[in-house]
Amino acid sequence: MAEITYREALKRALREEMQRDPTVVIWGEDVVAYAGGGAYGVTSGLAKEFPGRVRDTPIAEEAIIGVGIGAAMGGMRPVCEIMTVNFTLVAWDQIVNHAAKQSHMFNGQIKVPMVIRTPNGHGRTAATHSQNFDAWFAHVPGLKVVAPSTPYDAKGLLKTSIRDDDPVVFLEHLQLYGTRGEVPDEEYLIPIGVSDYKRRGKDVTLVTWGRMTMESLKAARVLAEEGVDVEIVDLRTLRPLDLSLALESVHKTNRVIVVEEGWRTAGLGAEIAASLQEMAFNDLDAPIARVAGLEVPMPYAKNLERATLPFAEDVVAAVHAMLQKQY
């Protein structure tokens, strides 16, 4: 088992699925030659390996998604890359009014087996380029939404997403591309809709996904030194939402904090907190807390950007607050 980056894990998934199925293609902005392949390097080298199957497209996100939907209807399995999640807004009509509607509205006659790969993230790129729309996608019936946190999950979930017969929004993260983790050489798949424990513990349950799983793990190490033992549930799939492990964990710890990167109001954390209290109210020893991004358009300045985003220290502070309060 080798340790590879999240970026490399994604690339291996793409390569394996392209080798397996000739109808899998990659279309997106600058996926062929720019910087070796992909603005963030995920597709580098694949165009050479698979001639004619990795194609640069115009900067027209509504067409990248729309053409992908049509190609999926016509018998292909396109993987459409949208350079960052911010640009999916240009294609929102195609994603919500078309990709998500086809199967149900046309009574099962049309399927759309496509993957929309796009990264969340930030990096001193200011308000229009530093957003997180996990909750928006997760709100839409008809979409499957996946947000892996580790190289292992990224590879297994991307392979499953490509084979899935429904449109899958595959949310990567700029800050995760360079992170490393163990990935087996042999093939494996991870099912969509199955959450995962990333740390076992007994004191407080952290329910999270994506980059915040990594921040939660960092927080857990700090807390462990203080003798606080947190359990971390990584949702991995945001729609359909699998809260079974979160629920199991709450029965044990009786305390839950939802940790998300996006804006707090009407965020996914609100949904998770509401659902958990509906199902496990009597198990809770404290109100469910949320760690979330501050509700401002992201500023450029280094200190302001950092203040806007949640990090491990915010998770630590939330755990402290929860354990210190008396109810």
Partner 1 sequence: MDKENLVALYRQMVLIRVFEDRAAEMYAKAKIAGFLHLYNGQEAVAVGAVSALHPDDDVVVNYRDHGWALARGSSARAVMAELFGRATGTTGGRGGSMHLVDVRNRFWGGYAIVGGHLPLAAGLAAAAQYLKTGRVTLCSMGDGSTNIGTFHAAMNWAKLWNLPIIFMVENNQYAMGTHYDVHSAVPMIQKAAGYNMYAEQVDGMDVMAVREAVCRAAERARRGEGPSFLDVVTYRYRGHSMADPDVQRDKAEIARWKERDPITRFATEVLLKRNLVTPKDLDDIQKSVEQEVEDAIEFADKSPEPALDTLYDYIYQQPVRNMQIAGSLIRPPTIAKSVPANGKHA
Q: State the catalytic residues.
A: 61, 129
Amino acid, single-letter form, for residue 3:
E
Cα→Cα distances 287→58, 109, 255, 260, Å = 49, 45, 8, 17
Contact pick of 4, 30, 34, 62 for partner 1 (by CB under 8 A):
62
Identify residues 262-281 at the interface with partner 1 (CB under 8 A): 271-272, 274-275, 278-279
Give the Cα separation of 215 and 152 in Å (integer): 17
Residue 266 is which amino acid?
A
| Contacts (CB under 8 A) with partner 1, residues 26-55 | none
Separation CA 196–CA 263 (nearest Å): 24
By the 8 A CB rule, do 293 and 132 touch? yes
- In sequence order, what DSSP letters do the residues of 266-293 get, joined into one string? T-HHHHHHHHHHHHHGGG-SSPPEEEEE
Could you say whether residue 247 binds partner 1 (CB under 8 A)?
yes
* 79 vs 203: CA distance, rounded Å: 41
Regarding 241 and contact with partner 1 (CB under 8 A), the answer is yes
Nearest approach, Cβ of 231 to partner 1 (angstroms)?
18
Q: Closest approach of Cβ 8 to partner 1, in Å?
A: 27
Query: Quick check: 19 binds partner 1 (CB under 8 A)?
Result: no
Which phi and psi angles does 158 have, rounded to 5°?
A: -70, -40
Backbone angles phi, psi at 70, to 5 degrees: -60, -40
Assess 89 for contact with partner 1 (CB under 8 A). no
Helices 211-225 + 312-324 axis angle, to 10: 50
Site for partner 1 contains 20 (CB under 8 A): no
* Closest separation in Å from C-beta 255 to partner 1: 19
Residues 211-240 that bind partner 1 (CB under 8 A): 237, 239-240
Select 72 or 83, whichever has its Cβ closest to partner 1: 72
- Give yes or no for a contact between 268 and 138, defined as CB atoms under 8 angstroms apart: yes
Q: Of 251 and 320, which has the nearer Cβ to partner 1?
A: 251
CB 131 within 8 A of CB 85: yes
Residue 93 binds partner 1 (CB under 8 A): yes
Select the residue interacting with partner 1 from 71, 82, 230, 319 (CB under 8 A). 71
Position 70 contacts partner 1 (CB under 8 A): yes
State yes or no: residue 106 binds partner 1 (CB under 8 A).
yes
CB of 192 to partner 1, least distance (A): 5
The H helix count followed by the E strand count for the chain is 12, 14
CA distance 191 to 157: 7
4 or 73: CB nearest partner 1: 73
Q: Which stretch binds partner 1 (CB under 8 A): 42-50, 164-172, 251-259, 284-292?
A: 164-172
Query: What's the start-to-end Cα distance of the chain, in Å?
Result: 47
Enter the tokens of residue 284: 């809770």
Span of 109-117, 182-190, 206-214, 226-234 interacting with partner 1 by CB under 8 A: 109-117
Q: Nearest approach, Cβ of 96 to partner 1 (angstroms)?
A: 10
Q: Which residues pair with 290 in a beta bridge?
A: 258
Query: Cβ 259 to partner 1, closest distance in Å?
Result: 17
11 makes contact with partner 1 (CB under 8 A): no
Query: Interface residues with partner 1 (CB under 8 A)?
Result: 23, 25, 57-58, 60, 62-63, 65-76, 78, 93-94, 97-98, 103-111, 113, 141-142, 144, 164-166, 191-194, 237, 239-244, 247, 271-272, 274-275, 278-279
